[in-house]
Amino acid sequence: MRTLIRDARVFDGERTIAAADVVLEDDRIAAVGAGLRTDVDVVVEGAGRTLLPGLIDAHTHVFDGSLAEALRYGVTTELDMFCLPQMLPRQRRLAAENDDVADLRSAGTLATAPGGHPTQLLAALAGTVLDGIDAAAIDFVTDPAQAPAFVAARLAEGADYLKIVIDDGAVHGADLPVLAPETATALATAAHEAGLRVIAHAITASEAEIALDAGVDGLAHVWTDLAPDDPASQRLAERVRAQGVFVVTTLAYFEAITVQGVQTADCARPGSSANAVGALRALRRVGVPLLAGTDATPFAPAHGTGMHRELHLLTEAGLSPREALTAATSLPAHHFGLSDRGRIAPGLRADLLLVEGDPTRDITAITSITDVWRRGVRQSR
């Protein structure tokens, strides 16, 4: 199957081409250029539209139905940060064998202390999306000596990277057990020795410091306990940059959990979205790689539409529309080693999104979807 997308504006993941033709052959991008009038099976008119790489959500939690919902809104790859072991094999098969759902990479089972975050959330979901699943039947880590075995179990589970949780519960209004700093360090060391990237769930500045001490590659959230004008936030951002660590934004998540009005009335409140925006701006000022992620669940933020909201929030926080789109395409592909996607170039996967208008100037155009391709298969709409 050969498809010609004709005369589209092309955002290739990094820059914009005013008008170009893009030829797809089976599951790959075959050519990008002007005047590509070769023999094709299908012609799609791109005039007045923008062709982009499929969006990559760099922080989700996948349940039944999540991957289909994501693809419907142009998210062609989800980077799952914790999927229960009873559910993960089914989701992997679904993504591998079908082109009407988003592709999937996953941390599998995250590393947390017994009773630590997110076990309190899993308990609250019993009988809903976890109906029939024993959410307590997961591995925990209590001692640095357990780190190599825990990482080996994740490799056997098929994990693409390791996620560790450093969260004492303060943001959630709780007092939760938390991994000791030396255990976090041992987990990061064991994961790196096994060739896995390490991403840390840390929501306060002190937790982020522990993650940085442990040697993580990325932070799964910005911190939310420092006021936007606190000099400590800028100092922490500079340390993140010095260590070459990337940060996943998840502004849509913090918006979802912040009580309306509290973020402006009480900027010192842990978990406030105003503080999250302040941290993001500090990170951007010093050049930390920012990856768009939503922390999507079956509830809020939602898969797919949550990414549209995330992109909108990123531009409200000061990113240009082009920076926001880069954060949702080529940057997560680069930092998670997905060298076959995230850009529009010959030889790469034909995971693509075509929208009316120009989201590189007006990010709200990202919602005006006309077509989505996943592995070269055009989705019915």
Output the domain CATH number for residue 366.
2.30.40.10
What confidence category does residue 381 fall into, taking pLDDT thresholds of 50, 70 and 90? Answer: confident
Domain that holds residue 20: 2-50+345-378
Task: Indicate which CATH number applies to the domain containing 71.
Answer: 3.20.20.140
Determine the distance from the C-alpha atom of residue 289 to the mean position of all C-alpha atoms in its chain, rounded to a whole number: 13
**Residue 129 CA: distances (Å) to CA of 104, 299, 330:** 19, 10, 32
pLDDT at position 263 is 35
Q: What is the largest CA-CA distance in the chain?
A: 64
165 and 288, same domain (yes or no): yes
Task: Residue 25: count other Cβ atoms within 10 Å of its Cβ.
Answer: 17
Report yes or no on 277 lying in a domain: yes
Of 43-57, 71-85, 253-267, 323-337, the range with the lowest mean pLDDT is: 253-267
* 112 assigned to some structural domain: yes
Edge-first strand listing for the sheet containing 162-165 = 162-165, 198-201, 218-219, 246-248, 290-291
**Pair (278, 364) in one structural domain:** no
233, part of any domain: yes
Task: Tell me if 340 is assigned to some domain.
Answer: no
- Give strand ranges (E) for the chain: 2-11, 16-25, 28-33, 42-45, 49-53, 55-60, 75-80, 103-106, 162-165, 198-201, 218-219, 246-248, 290-291, 352-356, 369-374, 377-378
Cβ proximity of 50 and 9 under 8 Å: yes
189 vs 257, more confident: 189
Q: Are residues 63 and 41 in the same domain?
A: no
Cβ atoms of 29 and 22 within 8 Å: the answer is yes
Same domain, 170 and 24: no
**Domain shared by 366 and 255, yes or no:** no
| Same domain assignment for residues 361 and 251 | no
Cβ-contact 22, 10 below 8 angstroms:
yes
- Sheet of 55-60: strand order equals 55-60, 75-80, 103-106
Query: Residue 262: how many CB atoms within 10 A of its CB?
Result: 14
Q: How confident is the model at residue 58 (pLDDT cuts 50, 70, 90)?
A: very high
Q: Is residue 245 part of a domain?
A: yes
Please tell me the predicted confidence (pLDDT) of residue 260. Answer: 40
Residue (of 69, 137, 128, 129) closest to 109 by Cα position: 137
128 lies in the same domain as 200: yes
pLDDT of residue 262: 35
Q: Is the dihedral of CA 111, 117, 118, 119 positive or negative?
A: positive
Q: What is the pLDDT of residue 261?
A: 38
> Tens digit of pLDDT for each residue in 142-175?
999 999 999 999 999 999 999 999 999 887 788 9
Per-residue CA distances from 95 to 67, 105, 197, 296, 331 (Å): 8, 9, 22, 17, 22
Task: For residues 35 and 112, state if they share a domain.
Answer: no
Question: What CA dihedral angle connects 245, 251, 253 and 257, to 10 degrees?
Answer: 120
Q: What is the mean pLDDT of residues 122-132?
A: 66
Task: Quote the pLDDT of residue 124.
Answer: 67
Min mean pLDDT across 23-32, 127-136, 318-327 is at 127-136
Distance CA 274, CA 281 (A): 11
User: Which run of H or E residues covers position 274?
Assistant: helix 273-285
The phi and psi torsions of 139 (rounded to 5 degrees) equal -75, 145
Q: Which two tokens stand for residue 136?
A: 């307590």
User: Quick check: helix, strand or coil at residue 49?
Assistant: strand
182 pLDDT higher than 70: yes
pLDDT at 376 over 50: yes
**Alpha-carbon Rg for the chain in angstroms:** 20
Mean pLDDT of the chain: 92
Total of domains in the chain? 2
Domain identity same for 174 and 298: yes
Strands 352-356 and 49-53, how do they pair? antiparallel
273-290 mean pLDDT: 96
What is the tens place of the pLDDT at every residue in 284-299? 999 999 999 999 998 8
Cα–Cα distances (Å) from 87 to 8, 108, 311, in that order, read 40, 10, 29
In this prediction, residues 183-211 reach a mean pLDDT of: 98
User: Is residue 44 domain-shared with residue 138, that is, in the same domain?
Assistant: no
Q: Is residue 237 part of a domain?
A: yes
Q: Are residues 106 and 178 in the same domain?
A: yes
Tell me how far apart the alpha carbons of residues 209 and 46 are, in angstroms, rounded to a whole number. 47
Same domain, 133 and 275: yes
d(CA 29, CA 23): 6
Give me the pLDDT at residue 127, please.
64
CB-CB contact of 307 with 294 (8 Å): yes
